[in-house]
Structure 1
Amino acid sequence: MDSTLFIIGIIGNIISVLVFISPVKTFWRIVRSGSTEEFEPAPYVFTLLNALLWLYYGLTKPDGLLIATVNGFGAAMEAIYVILFIVYAADQATRVKTAKLATALDVGGFGVVFAATTFAIRELDLRIMVIGMICACLNVLMYGSPLAAMKTVINTKSVEFMPFFLSFFLFLNGGVWATYAVLDRDIFLGIPNGIGFVLGSIQLIIYAIFMNSKASQSSRETAEDGGQASEPFLASNDGYGQGEPSSSHVRCTV
């Protein structure tokens, strides 16, 4: 394997871990307050499904150890987030909604993909290709999830609803894996991460435009005075599946 590709893949995995642990602050707030408040469970449930599928992909690939390792970590973190969301749900309706969503997607959805690819597709290369394409499609959808936060920032003229470090890590993640894809000529890796890099760039530009606005300054002053700013869109930007330094045609990506 080319040493440059290997190094870029390792860097990508490190950034992917940072993306997976980025919601820790949000859930520390949830645990301390004893309520999920206005946070939405869908991003965490969806990210868990994505991590599970990439874990399955890594275990299926002959050289997918790094994929399986980083996404195994991601799946464990997202499972903890989902469990905490159920435990600290703001009300019974939210608890039931989260449990149903997790059962349908993380158990049912993953189970369908696993069963279909395991028993219906006998050829290993084709199975790897199908799983990789499904994962790539999910990553495109996940990279698009911050659009809601960007719309809110523009409407409120405040970056209160767009956590900088999470946006920054997503930008780096997309850029690293898009670079890897270009060097390795891998379209399945390049498309979702190229889109992620573009969206991440847009997020950072919007952040730079509104970070010094009066609305943003007011939010910071409120926090300094002891008030607790609302951050419902922290949940909309959470972690994605990851990649590895491998020479196969389909790779995990963040």
Structure 2
Amino acid sequence: MGDTLRLAVGVMGNAAALLLFSAPILTFCRVIRKKSTEEFSCVPYTIALLNCLLYTWYGLPVISCRWEKFPVVTINGLGILFELSFILIYLWFTSAKGKKKVAITMIPVILVFCITAAISLLSFHDHHHRKIFVGSVALVTSVVMYGSPLVVVLPNLVGIPLGILQLVLYCKYRKRGIKEESHKWDLEIRNEEKSKQLQLVINDSNINDKS
């Protein structure tokens, strides 16, 4: 009973993962049809590629015991094919600037996977510790993958408090500036009136001297 339940849950998990990996197909059909990426980010697909690479490595016999994680290997191996296809389509239709961004994001993906694979092979000598290490790295990558679409929203979230701070400072010092300008204007008017009165006194004294 327990093995049957575990198999059923594994099949449902693989089906859900397949839907997740195939979801961007409609987006890339539109990219092919319009021959443009419309400047959307490729970061979610490169992070998803890293996630699939790590979980495929996690399921292989070199990390896990024999082929106990075979369903993990199959679904994430399929995910690697999906993500590589999406990235290649993106590269084909994006601008030169977009190609540079993809290259910049792919470098850390390759480095993280290679470093994780090397550490798991060279630093750990049993399946248990290798599984814990690779699984932990893959878990962190999964969290980043699900949060990567927020890359468009995060700059705006940071910009909201900064914009509010600018408005507060503007209102505060704008009032002070108005008061200072008003005070300066009053002083100028007073000085001008004093100079006029002084000029009148001088003129009157000149007239009296002449008479």
TM bucket (normalised to shorter chain) is 0.5 to 0.7
The structural deviation recorded for 1:34 is 1.2
In structure 2, relative to structure 1, the CA distance for the partners of 1:67 and 1:101 (3 Å cut) is same
The structural deviation recorded for 1:27 is 0.5
Letter aligned with residue 56 of structure 1: W
Residue 76 in structure 1 maps to residue 81 in structure 2: yes
| Residue in 2 that maps onto 1:171 | none
- Residue of 135, 138, 143 corresponding to 1:140: 143
TM-score (norm 2): 0.66
The structural deviation recorded for 1:14 is 0.7
| Residue in 2 that maps onto 1:163 | none
- For the residues of structure 1 that align with 2:87 and 2:12, how far apart are their CA atoms? 27
Q: Within 5 Å, which residues of 2 pair with 1:86-235?
A: 86-89=91-94, 91-105=95-109, 107-147=110-150
- For the residues of structure 2 that align with 1:133 and 1:79, how far apart are their CA atoms? 23
- For the residues of structure 1 that align with 2:96 and 2:75, how far apart are their CA atoms? 33
Q: Which runs of 5+ in 2 are unaligned?
A: 155-211
The structural deviation recorded for 1:140 is 1.9
Q: Displaced runs of 4+ in structure 1, greater than 6 A?
A: 148-151
Give the alignment's Cα RMSD to 1 decimal.
1.8
The structural deviation recorded for 1:20 is 0.4
Alpha-carbon contact 1:53-1:135 (below 8 Å) kept: yes
Deviations 1:107-160 (A, max 9, x none): 222111111111121122100111111111122222334556889xxxxxxxxx
In structure 2, relative to structure 1, the CA distance for the partners of 1:141 and 1:103 (3 Å cut) is closer
- For the residues of structure 2 that align with 1:53 and 1:38, how far apart are their CA atoms? 28
The structural deviation recorded for 1:58 is 0.7
Residue 41 in structure 1 maps to residue 70 in structure 2: no
- For the residues of structure 1 that align with 2:3 and 2:75, how far apart are their CA atoms? 21
How many residues align structurally? 149
In structure 2, relative to structure 1, the CA distance for the partners of 1:80 and 1:141 (3 Å cut) is same
Letter aligned with residue 144 of structure 2: L
Letter aligned with residue 112 of structure 1: I
SS at 1:50's partner residue? helix
Alpha-carbon contact 1:45-1:82 (below 8 Å) kept: yes
Letter aligned with residue 14 of structure 2: N
Letter aligned with residue 85 of structure 1: Y
Letter aligned with residue 83 of structure 1: L
Alpha-carbon contact 2:47-2:144 (below 8 Å) kept: no
Which has more helix, going by share of residues? 2
Larger relative contact order, structure 1 or 2 (CA cutoff 8 Å, min sep 6):
1
Letter aligned with residue 42 of structure 1: V
Deviations 1:7-34 (A, max 9, x none): 1121111111011011001011111111
Letter aligned with residue 82 of structure 1: I
In structure 2, relative to structure 1, the CA distance for the partners of 1:84 and 1:138 (3 Å cut) is same
Identity %, equivalent residues: 30
TM-score (norm 1): 0.55
Q: Which runs of 5+ in 1 are unaligned?
A: 152-254
